[in-house]
Amino acid sequence: MECKVIFINESFTLYQAPINDTVIYPTQIRKYFHKLNAIPSKLTKRHRLLAEKLLELQLDDFLIKPNMPSYQYVQLQKGISCAKCHSLSVHENGRKCICTICKHEELTESAVVRAAKEFKLLFPNEKMTTGIVHDWCSIVESKRRIKYILYKNFNAVGKTRWLYYE
């Protein structure tokens, strides 16, 4: 069995590092894995058991939950943030959203889709409905337009009153 230490941070630099075959630096990762994939091998029952155990132990929310502050929907400021400067000083003008700070323009549709994805990231257990996204975006006056954008860009689940998007 061969052991390696792999530094994955691209901005990591180890100055005056000794030449060592057991250490792989960020600039060497691609070449190392290419070389590793070129080695012919046969999968055994032991490999499959190891893969199943790794999948079983996989923690989906490991990176998200420990450092997340607690917050509620009513506490957050509503509106579409600017894709460039991230301010909430955006207003809708026809088919575009324009930032009053940096003057960045974005199509309303892409801004609403981005805001809806942000909502889903912040509230993964909440159903994304037309009403909630309309309230979340706040600058888009037409609820009908929000519904059209959601229907076009997300999967609709349910019917009429119980319709939500994933």
Minimal CA–CA distance to 134: which of 124, 126, 122, 142? 142
> Residue 63: pLDDT band by 50, 70, 90 thresholds?
low
Share of the chain above pLDDT 90, in %: 7
Facing residues of 156 across strands? Answer: 165
Bridge partners, residue 107, by sequence: 96
Could you tell me the pLDDT band of residue 66, with boundaries at 50, 70 and 90?
low
Residue 58 near residue 65 (C-beta atoms within 8 A): no
Question: Which tens digit of pLDDT belongs to each residue from 9-34?
Answer: 888 777 777 777 788 888 888 898 88
Instruction: Name the pLDDT band for 59 (thresholds 50, 70, 90).
Output: low
Name residue 30's amino acid. Answer: R
Backbone phi, psi, residue 93, to 5°: -135, 95
- For the whole model, what pTM was predicted? 0.58
Report how far residue 116's alpha carbon sits from residue 113's, in angstroms, rounded to the nearest whole number: 5
pLDDT, residue 33, reads 86
Instruction: Please count the other Cβ atoms lying within 10 Å of the Cβ belonging to residue 92.
Output: 19
Q: Categorize the per-residue pLDDT at 68 as very low, low, confident or very high, splitting at 50, 70 and 90.
A: low
Q: Where are the alpha helices (DSSP H) in the chain?
A: 29-38, 45-57, 108-122, 130-137, 143-153
Helices (H), strands (E): how many in the chain? 5, 7
Q: How far apart are CA 88 and CA 99, in angstroms?
A: 8
Residue 67 has pLDDT above 70, yes or no: no
Average pLDDT over residues 108-137: 89
Is 76's pLDDT higher than 60? yes
pLDDT band at 163 (very low <50, low <70, confident <90, very high): confident
Query: What letter does residue 94 receive in the DSSP assignment?
Result: T
